[in-house]
Chains A and B, each alone.
Chain A
Amino acid sequence: MKKLFFGGIYLVAVLISGSCKKLTPQDRDTIDPAATFLTTTFSPILGRNYIARGAFSSGESSLPMDFEIINVRRFNGEPAPELTEDIYPVTVWKSTGAGAYTGEEKSIDEIEQKRTTENHRILEMRRSSGDIVVWGSVNTSKLITRPDSGYRFDVKVSNSGATRYFYNLRFMPYKPVPHEPHNYNLNTGMTSNPALTSGVSGISMSNFFRRRDNTAMSASEVDVYFNKLSSDGNSLTFKFLDSAYAPINPKLFNSTDWEHLVHGFGMQLTDTEVKYTVAYPIPLTQFPTRFTNANGTRAQVAFSYYRLGAGGVGVTATLGFNFAIYQKGDWEIAFHFKTTSPKFTDD
């Protein structure tokens, strides 16, 4: 009889614990019905690595979710093989093991050891975060750019509990612009003027005096030129030009820290120019280093010299310039003193 009792108890226990699970909802992931893309149009400037974070608002969804770009097509509905089919080798940073770029690297090799090449499509979406990624170091000439309406694409968002589709997001890239600052028209891809005036270049000058009349020189008297000498090289050259476009000897900027002007190697300081072997893009990452501005977005250079000014007071003249170059090549940056050369001699 005892057996029967315990048997009965056991039976009920099994029934209760077994059946309860069926009565209650399953523990599965969910996608909030209100989850949506907050940004639906993506307009990067091509030729640069681009990432759009936080475009998707997941609301009360279970995380992480799987994101997938599907059905990329041109705005008029035609297929877009340049985005769906073509795969390009791109330079990426090694994710693990090599360490990140710090600005302390001692050679080009050391930098290159932290990078590698992977095959990617130009437009991608990170699988778990839904961040939109556009790779920069590729030839983007096949892409349709603004002012065209560009591309449309759909996104499939799923987790183990649900799948949702978001339709007709837009990819409307701008034409590549190789450097910043610049005066390209983003829609046409044409420059309005090869010379960057101070309003565009954002150049800063302090304590410069004109050689001609020994009065204070302002930044508006200096234009900046970006010249790409070739696409194959790996160098960056700085030049200073007087009003007649004749080179000024850079050695006159006698208190410039030439060794640490840019994160480059093999400096060649001549009477006409200073040249470095560098790794592109410049800056390599947005990590703030001694070679960049405070938030790491642009490389920062400063040329300075010391002289005795009026009344025998020592002054340091400094020319500062922040820039970025996105394309590999032999680049030359020239500072053109339009009106007169600066005064290097003591008063």
Chain B
Amino acid sequence: MRKLKVLLFLLVCLGLKDAMGQRFELRGKVFDDKTQKPVQSVSISVGNRGTSTDLLGQFKILVDPMEPLTFSHVDYKEQVYKLGKDENDIVVYLQTDEAKGSMNDVVVVGFARKSKLLSTGASAIITADDIKDVPAANVADLLQGKVAGVNIQTTSGMPGARSSIFQRGLSTIEVSGQGNDAFLASTQPLMIIDGVPIDPNTDYEYGFATAGTGVNPLTLIPAEDIEEIQILKDAAATAVYGSRGAYGVWIINTKKGRSGKPEINYVTNFFLSTVPKLREIYGGRIERAIKVDQIINHNYYDSPDYGWAMVNLNLFLSDSLNPYFNNSTNWQSYFFGNSFNQNHNLSVKGGDPTFNYKINLGYYDEDGIIKNTGMSRYSVGMNTIFEPRSKKIKLMANVNATNQVRNNGSGVGLLQTGVATSGMASTNLPPPDIYTENSGALAAFSIEEDNKSSTILSAIQFDFQILKSLRFHTEGSHYYSHSNSNTFYPSWLNSGSIYYLPTGNNPQSQYNTFSRIGNDYYNRNVLTFTKDFNEGKHYVMAYGFSDLTVNTIRSNALLLYGAPNDNISGPIGYNLANSRFGTNGVPLNKRIFGYGGSFSYAFMQKYVVDLNYRIDGTSTNGPLSGWRHNPSIGVKWNVHKEAFMEAFSNWLDYSWFRASWGRSIVPQGNVFNIYGTYYPGSTYMGRPSVMIDFGSAPNAYFLPNTSVTWNFGYEGSFFKGKFSIEYDAYYSTRENIARAMPIVRESGYSEKPTNEVSMVNYGHELSLRFKPVQNEHFTWNLTLNGAYNKNILTHLPSDVRQLIVSRATDPNVPDLPVLYRLGRNALSNYLYNTKGVYSTYEDVPVDPLTGLRQQINGRYLQEGDPIFADLNGDYVINAYDLVAVGDPQPKLTGGFINNFTYKNWSLAVNASYTFLRDVLNTPLAKRFQYFYNPESSGALPPIDEYDYWKQPGDDARYPNPFTYQQNRAIGSYRYNQTLFMEDGSYFKFNSVTLGYAFDKALISRIKLKSARIYFTGQNMLVISNYSGPNPENVSDLGRDHPDGYPSPRKYSLGLNVTF
């Protein structure tokens, strides 16, 4: 909430005048208090005389000394200025009229700042106020549910983990991996942090479940240092970022110095992360009893004798008096625990409009609720702006440096497979110890991972006014990131091949190193012409620009096996034959060059037209596909400026319609797609040879991912800002999405990259803001937003209408394919349709021809087995019986924010929701799968609450979990069945903050400007019908993961003081 106050400056005194009764010419300038930009068309009246400011906010008027001046403008609060003695050149800062607040927000549209009144694009602004009071490593978590059309899902509780961000629906269908670990390629929006563009989709090269260090660009900046985030949604808004803007653009600006006196602000949070409800397990004796019962009474041969033999074969079942097998260990308690965390942020700001500075120091430390995981961040950021009073030049420089230390424990990023496996170790085993078996457990909390990433973002911007209406802007930035992770596994923890190397039965110690260096360079030059004619009737802005982006990434991995000593952690020597080293992923050296122009015209501020055109070349375009031309057009009608709307001006603040069309791209693929892969071969006739790799054919016509968006929007504000509405409807096509397709063997190659996938997203976005009560003591603000997105696949390579991808090739991985079918949501589940459980033997269908019961994997079904729909009626359940069902993409997302303030107290509630989404509850399936192997050591979870088959005649929902051999053979609890597909809709209370601001008069005695304490609860409550652990903790393909990292509930106590 901005305070209602006026800043008055006395700037220059030009000589003395004989004052009394002497009318003289007063000069002055009018600026916006917030943006420090000149305001034009401000009407100034003195007595019966009047004038208005020009484009640069300047005015001249004849005044009598001591005569008050009145400044008025439709967007600002009226202001009366009393001339002091001897003033003849004044600077006036106008305060925005709260009622019309959002109209005056300045947005970056293209490469120029513009009042929202004149902007034709769809965008949203999040300010520091919207994200305060909640500690978070990742800013995206704070934006959840706050912007219509931006779907943010916190898919992991790992500190600093990437959230999944989808702006206006799906942008790709590229699925990597197989089984339940399959993941969707990342298509997050381009982030521009203080002028440094950062592509958040890099460093994703290895997928979420593979090795690597990983820097999440949204963890680079402390949330406390962010002044505003602009989210550009439609093509008119992102047009000039066309070379990389197709997934959306976020512009993140850090705070700037502004106040005259230096201002020191300190924010600290102490927060407690608590473990959510974990999987329950049976302890000790019950676990053994269930297993023994399973083996004796439910074995495939129906033979207790066989069962006893099997029990006696397994010592951990039969030797119950052995102290080693006679325990009741709660393994999860060794892995999970509450953690106390803190963050501190200190910023120093100062200066005046001419020269100002800001320095921000941040420290953030969060331990995960899984032992030995966590993240700490040290950050330093500074910026400075120099702009002489003449406004002829402007120089802005900023540097943000961070150092992050992460600890992934035994997991990699999203998954904690090690913990999940060890956490489900048999409770009969003794607690973890160097002398006991469960080395996965020990590894999870005793292996030290030295995982650091350092980043430096630096940018410099320079503006020069060549002529009154012609400005030149140039800026350059550099983003450097270096991350590496070193891990040493002593021999007694280096079991099997879990650390990427086959080590055999008697492993030696191993040293793993991953290193990644990224350098991004960016340069942009803009020449802007701004002019208005006929006293502001016609407004013209035009600019031409060029921009160049260079990205280089190099990533190496060393897996050194056979280090000589367990006590000295380092690769002092290693077994060369068993070690692996080389590049990790594909090294990257990418360029994008673009140039273009933009032209805007506004008539009477009523009608606005924006035209943009940009031409791009990228190094991953096919050489024969040429430059990409990306035009866009936006139009706007400010209805409230029309004469006929004057009559409604008492209740209508503003009201406008806008529409846009445009095209933008994102480069995809790599140089190998377009030129093929060459490698050095053997010598031929004594000369070295170069061979081409026949895996993938070059495609010289390879294209970038292209998006064409139509957008229609309406915005209005009524009753002095008591109610405002923002509505957008869009229709967006995604074209030229890359997909490799197999080609005929006669070509010599096995596949070829194509650009033949396309899809459509369309939807509606609505934001409503209410300010029902605004008085001195009590204010109430309420914001509601929601977005509906529908996604349809419209084209596949080779004109096929359907493709099934991500089939499991590894027999140990559950087969969970993804179906692409035209006319449907782009990603569909492809599942067995479970219709219940066979109650008796007689219910199992019999093939009339062969007389055999229905079978799966060659096993005949029996009572208590699942009924999978036999679609093709051949009495065999196999891949021909899969059905396309469900949509893993949420269709309706949004949230609400409710703020109350009463005197010094404030209460903020922030919630988000996701509806119409199908989630595969694999943790539930896995829960029953734990009963698959009673002959092996492992814990069992209680399943009494589930309606499973117990005896013939039962009409149950879940198959008999105890017939372990049968279940294993036929996959009764396979993941890919509709039994486990559930509605993943949820409503989540993200945060609740109760704050108290100390009385200013009181704290000024101890030299404090302001002080606030607050208490925040985060991730408080999720309301959902979903029966799994957390409907949000699921992958983009809508699959929950039994090995996922649970989201903690956090309670924090914070203090915010300004000196």
Contact = CB atoms under 8 A, between A and B. Distances in A.
Given A12-B729, A94-B848, A128-B871, A287 B860 contact: yes
Given A16-B762, A24-B823, A127-B873, A64 B844 contact: no
B1054 interface: no
Contact of A63 (B822, B860, B880): B880
Contacts of B846: 93-96, 98-100, 114
B851 A93 contact: yes
Contacts of A12: 712, 729
Contacts of A26: 822-823
A266 to B, nearest CB: 22
B842 A13 contact: no
B1028 to A, nearest CB: 28
A71 to B, nearest CB: 23
A63 B884 CA distance: 9
A256 interface: no
Interface stretch (A53-61, A176-184, A197-205, A339-347): A53-61
Contacts of B714: 5, 8-9
B892 interface: no
Interface in B721-743: 727, 729, 731
Interface string A235-246: 000000000000
Interface residues of B, number: 51
B880 A285 contact: no
B803 interface: yes
A171 to B, nearest CB: 17
Contacts of B792: 20, 24-25
Given A24-B794, A62-B802, A1 B648 contact: yes
Given A27-B821, A60-B800, A287 B880 contact: no
Contacts of B129: none
A97 interface: yes
B851 A30 contact: no
Given A5-B716, A24-B823, A99 B841 contact: yes
A128 B849 contact: no
Interface in A272-286: 284-286
A92 B848 contact: yes
Interface in B822-853: 822-824, 841-853
Contacts of A285: 850-852
Interface string A1-29: 11001001100110011001001111110
A64 B860 CA distance: 22
B848 A100 contact: no
Contacts of A110: none
Interface string B790-830: 10101100001111100000000000000001111000000
Which of A9, A114, A127 has most B Cβ within 10 Å? Answer: A9
B238 to A, nearest CB: 20
Given A5-B716, A20-B760, A100 B853 contact: yes
B874 A161 contact: no
B774 interface: no
A286 B852 contact: yes
Contacts of A322: none
Nearest to A16: B729
Nearest to A101: B851
A129 B874 contact: yes
B802 A129 contact: no
B872 A63 contact: yes
Contact of B850 (A51, A62, A64, A97): A51
Contacts of B802: 30, 32, 60-62
B4 to A, nearest CB: 29
Contacts of B800: 30, 32-33, 60
Contacts of B731: 16, 20
Contacts of A99: 841-842, 844, 846
A112 interface: no
A28 B823 contact: yes
A105 B824 CA distance: 50
A27 B823 contact: yes
B650 to A, nearest CB: 12
A206 interface: no
Nearest to A24: B792
Given A53-B874, A128-B873, A287 B851 contact: yes
- A contact patch SS: loop
A91 to B, nearest CB: 9
A25 B794 CA distance: 6
A257 interface: no
B764 interface: yes
A133 interface: yes
Contacts of B845: 95-96
A233 to B, nearest CB: 22
B655 interface: yes
Nearest to A58: B880
B823 A1 contact: no
Contact of A51 (B844, B849, B873): B849
Contacts of B823: 24-28
Given A60-B802, A62-B802, A98-B846, A24 B655 contact: no
Interface string B636-675: 0000000001001000100101000000000000000000
A131 interface: yes
A51 B874 CA distance: 10
B1034 interface: no
B424 interface: no
A129 B880 contact: yes
Nearest to A118: B848
A286 B645 contact: no
B892 to A, nearest CB: 14
Contacts of A260: none
A20 B789 CA distance: 12
A126 interface: yes
B882 interface: yes
Contacts of B850: 49, 51, 93, 285-286
Nearest to B729: A16
Interface in A70-111: 92-101
A27 B851 contact: no
B848 A131 contact: no
Contacts of A118: 848
B616 to A, nearest CB: 27
A159 to B, nearest CB: 11
Contacts of A93: 846-851
A93 B588 CA distance: 65
Contacts of A63: 871-872, 880-882
B876 interface: yes
Interface centre among B794, B824, B847, B860 (most CB of A within 10 A): B847
Nearest to A26: B823
Contacts of A60: 800, 802-804
A16 B873 contact: no
Contacts of A33: 800
A96 B843 contact: yes
A24 B764 CA distance: 17
A239 B573 CA distance: 79
Interface in A119-150: 126-131, 133, 135
B851 A53 contact: no
A271 to B, nearest CB: 36
21 contacts: A1-B648, A1-B652, A5-B716, A8-B657, A16-B729, A16-B762, A24-B823, A25-B801, A53-B876, A63-B881, A64-B873, A94-B848, A97-B842, A99-B841, A99-B842, A100-B846, A100-B851, A126-B873, A129-B880, A285-B850, A286-B850
Query: Shortest 7 CB-CB distances between A and B: which pairs?
Result: A27-B823, A285-B851, A30-B801, A129-B874, A92-B848, A129-B872, A93-B851
Given A8-B657, A96-B842, 8 more contacts: A2-B718, A16-B762, A17-B762, A30-B800, A30-B801, A53-B876, A126-B872, A128-B874
Interface of B: 645, 648, 652, 655, 657, 712, 714, 716, 718, 727, 729, 731, 760, 762, 764, 790, 792, 794-795, 800-804, 821-824, 841-853, 860, 871-874, 876, 880-882, 884
